[in-house]
Amino acid sequence: MQQKNRVILIHGLHQTAWIMRPLAKRLQTAGFETHQYGYRSMRDGIKTNSQRLNAWLESNHNPAKPIDLIGHSLGGLIIRDFIAHYPQWKIGRCVTLGTPHNGSISGDYIWRLAPAIVGKSYEQALDGTVAPLPKAIELGVIAGNKAQGLGQPILAYHNRKLRKTDNAPSAEHLMHDGTVYIQETKIEAAADHIVMPVSHTGMLVDKSVAKQAIYFLQNGQFKR
């Protein structure tokens, strides 16, 4: 039986490493060794948090062995920055959960109205300017379409504005997980993309999401 890669799980904005615990437990049950990487999403920018992940790996991981990466929301952008700036690591497969690969509209609103709420996680990350994904990386993207969460009022307001324009977008383009639009999760370099009936935070404890993430790590595509 082929040995599975160690999986590094990276949480999102305003969260801590413990929030990835339910997903980590399901990965462990599937035979994966896991590490929940914690970082300061408000105080430090994406470059610093990528650098600290690199430092942790240098102290705790054999560079000859590949790693898999799973990131929720902002954590998926840290994955992209980390891979781009620390190419010495062998990367197996990556999965992002509700990550705004194209920038975050809710983040834009908050940055303009109350920048302290997003701290240093906006520039070079939530603003859509994170490093591009290298071509060799197999990335699976999971998005949610259950519109529940703290960003719901902002996105509901934005949708009302869009509907009033001459070129109003389709209903599909207005769908989101309560924080991130489905369209924001799409990235051309991804190997696969799937939309699931979960909210932005709810996807972290959803059994079906965990099964799809595990399936992608094992097969390079989602199960349909």
Which is more confidently placed, 150 or 175? Answer: 175
Model confidence band, residue 149 (pLDDT cutoffs 50, 70, 90): confident
Higher-pLDDT residue of 63 and 149 is 63
Residue 3 pLDDT exceeds 80: no
pLDDT range class, residue 2, cuts 50, 70, 90: low
* Whole-number pLDDT of residue 125: 95
Q: What is the pLDDT of residue 161?
A: 85
- Which of the two residues, 173 and 201, has the higher pLDDT score? 201
pLDDT tens profile 179-194:
999 999 999 999 999 9
For residue 66, name the pLDDT band (cuts at 50, 70, 90).
Answer: very high
Tell me if 216 sits within 8 A of 222, measured CB to CB: yes
Residue 197: CB partners within 8 Å, gap ≥ 6? 144, 145, 146
| Mean pLDDT, rounded, for 203-220 | 98
pLDDT given at position 11 = 98
Q: Which residue's structure tokens are 């959960």?
A: 97
Would you state the pLDDT for residue 151?
83
What is the residue-averaged pLDDT of the chain? Answer: 95
Residue 166 confidence class, pLDDT cut points 50, 70, 90: confident
Predicted pLDDT of residue 50: 97
Q: What is the dihedral of CA 146, 181, 152, 167, to 10 degrees?
A: -120
Least confidently predicted of 63-77, 89-103, 162-176, 208-222: 162-176
Mean pLDDT of 125-132: 95
Identify the band that residue 1 occupies on the pLDDT scale cut at 50, 70 and 90: low
Q: Is 9 exposed, middle or buried (0-12, 13-18, 19+ CB in 10 A)?
A: buried
- Model confidence pLDDT, tens digit, residues 13-62: 999 999 999 999 999 999 999 999 999 999 999 999 999 999 999 999 99
